[in-house]
Each structure stands twice: as structure tokens, then as C-alpha cells.
Amino acid sequence: MSNLLSIGTQFPEFKKIAVVSTEKGKEFAEITSQDHINGAKWMVMFWYPKDFTFVCPTEIAEFNTNYEEFRDRDAQLIGASTDTEFVHLAWRKDHKDLKNLKFPLIADTSKSLAEDLGILEANEKVAYRVTYIVDPQGIIRWVSANDLNVGRNVKEVLRVLDALQTDELCPCNWEKGQETIKVA
């Protein structure tokens, strides 16, 4: 990864096609960088390397299991890879754990957003496993990057989102409902 966009940076503008449902007639929609800003929501965008792989569906299914947790925190959840929307759709229809996803999967087939974010793997030109938490103003507040073969921890993404939303000092291993640090 080179030039990974990090904390305090404006998330790049984008307009991409995404798979939003496997129901007939409503399979694709356009998703833009302004959607979460216009909705005054946080955005959690997680990138994965490829459809029809082994680690990726475990992560996507876990994000789906926790979808309501993200929604309850006013966070728009988005999955993304450099595969096409048609490959996303075929994979969702084929894989039992992905049939009923509640969030969109963006198709960055031009790789332009992955390049802007600095998350393309050099040899295969696929995205690393990178998770962004972006505030309602479009500023990146947290980034986590994993190697291609290591899945992420969705509970940690939720924990960090909770901490960021307190806008307070949160100690090590802090979890929602615990005391934050008060400076006298």
C-alpha cells in the first residue's frame, strides 16, 4: 500500500454502482460519497479483495449479522471490492451466507476509488482488507488495514465507532457504557 489515506483526511468523492438487493428489479443502485453526508450519518466502508474467495464471505456475513448495530449508531455500512456489480450479484445469489445482505456492495471496477484511498495491492491489483470509519462531515476518523489473508474483527469496528461517537477520551479497551476519561 502506498499513500494510504488516513485519519483527518477528507474521504474521496465517488459515485459507484452497488448491488443493493437480490430481489428482482431492484438489484443495483448508485451510491455516492454524499449519501452519508446528506443523511448526516457516519459511514463504515470495508474493503475486501475478491468475491468467490474464502475469508471474504466470513467478514461480509459478520458485518451483516451486526447490521442493526451499525444502523442503531446512525452509520451507513458499505462493502466494497474491485469486482463488478455482476460478480457481486452472482456471488450473493450463489453463497448461502450472502443471500440476504442488508447493505450495499460497491463495485469499484475502474479501481479509481481504491487507488484514491491508496489500498490497491501491487501485484494482483485488488484491494487490501481496509476499514474506514468516516464522520458525517466526510472526514476519515479511523482506518484499519489487514493483509489479504487475515480477516478483521467486526466487534472492534463497532467498539471504535462507539468511542468516536462519544467525542471524549476513551481508555484502552473502553466499551460502550463504560466511563470515559475526565480531565480536571
Selecting among 56, 119, 127, 154, the annotated active-site residue is: 56
| Plot region of 167 (φ>0 → left; ψ -120 to 50 → alpha; else → beta) | left
Q: Write the DSSP assignment of 94-137 as a string of letters.
A: H-TTTTT-SS-EEE-TT-HHHHHHT-B-TTT--B-EEEEEE-TT
The yes-or-no answer on residue 56 being catalytic is yes
- Catalytic (active-site) positions: 56
